[in-house]
Structure 1
């Protein structure tokens, strides 16, 4: 198995938890959509900031500013991000999750209510960029120790998103403020 295949297989349960947590938001409803964006704003900026300090990661377009713009259009300031730190080997897993969420966002963008801002969810990869990113992960994450570190980084990133969405360990998904 490649590093990406091991990342995908090893973190499938974590991915399912985050999908379930964020899947409960009605993106056509202004209030729910705002809560969805606030939850993302508690996670994404922390992940992007942590990855920015890691040498050797491929450059990817940041989405924090798009998220801040969407929240501003809804009249909401950016919330403080949750704490998050990642080491160089684990950062590859964080990158996998953060850029995978970009793909998920494209699928969700069509569910955003008419008239609501959707720049954050509409931010796509360039043509072929996802495949290039996966190839970069496979080329950089070599050996069982590196794969284990990347898996730990991916799990930490999924856990951050779950916490931002109000998922408590062993409690299942809950939505903040509800």
Structure 2
């Protein structure tokens, strides 16, 4: 069924992944961002999945002008004498709608990053958490997602749930 304004793909994804989102927030909430060690561990967890996710989703093919965060993440981690960890074994469900669902998750994490950046002590690198959306970019991305997903809500949900699951696994390692 085609997503309507009252039943948009965004509303569907928010409702369908609410518990996934809460689990990921809880897992990453255990990192002590106020300490250099805790913050480095947080960045290491993200480095287990974000670079691979950005390659698999290929967001630049979905959203013109999209800017990734892999290099900022790696630079912050290196500045803290952290090592880039091995990536998780993760396979994105097939199809463009699944890619959009996964993109919803990784780009939504930018919003949370803006809040978390305030917890990082001054003097520590924060390019990754500071990589925010430009004015109107988040709303534009959501509108594009709604249009692109259309009636393939199940595939978008699978992509989003897979991405949340990968973030959760990365936090637990």
Measured after TM superposition, the shift of residue 123 of structure 1 is: 0.3
CA contact under 8 A between 2:9 and 2:149: conserved in structure 1?
Answer: yes
Report the TM-score when normalising by structure 1.
0.88
Distance 1:26 1:67, change over 3 A: same
**Structure 1 moving runs of 4+ over 4 Å:** none
Among 72, 79, 85, which residue is 1:73 paired with? 79
**Structure 1 segment 17-166 matched on structure 2, within 5 A:** 17-52=23-58, 56-59=61-64, 60-86=66-92, 87=94, 88-143=96-151, 146-166=152-172
CA distance in 2 between partners of 1:121 and 1:55 (Å): 20
Structure 2, gaps ≥5 residues long: 1-6
Report the TM-score when normalising by structure 2.
0.91
Q: Deviation string for 1:66-94 (max 9, x for gaps)?
A: 00000110011211211223222210100
Q: Report how many aligned residue pairs link the two structures.
A: 164
Distance 1:6 1:116, change over 3 A: same
CA contact under 8 A between 1:46 and 1:83: conserved in structure 2?
Answer: no
Distance 1:63 1:55, change over 3 A: closer
Match of 2:3 in 1: none
Distance 1:126 1:55, change over 3 A: closer
CA contact under 8 A between 2:60 and 2:67: conserved in structure 1?
Answer: no
Structure 1, gaps ≥5 residues long: 167-175
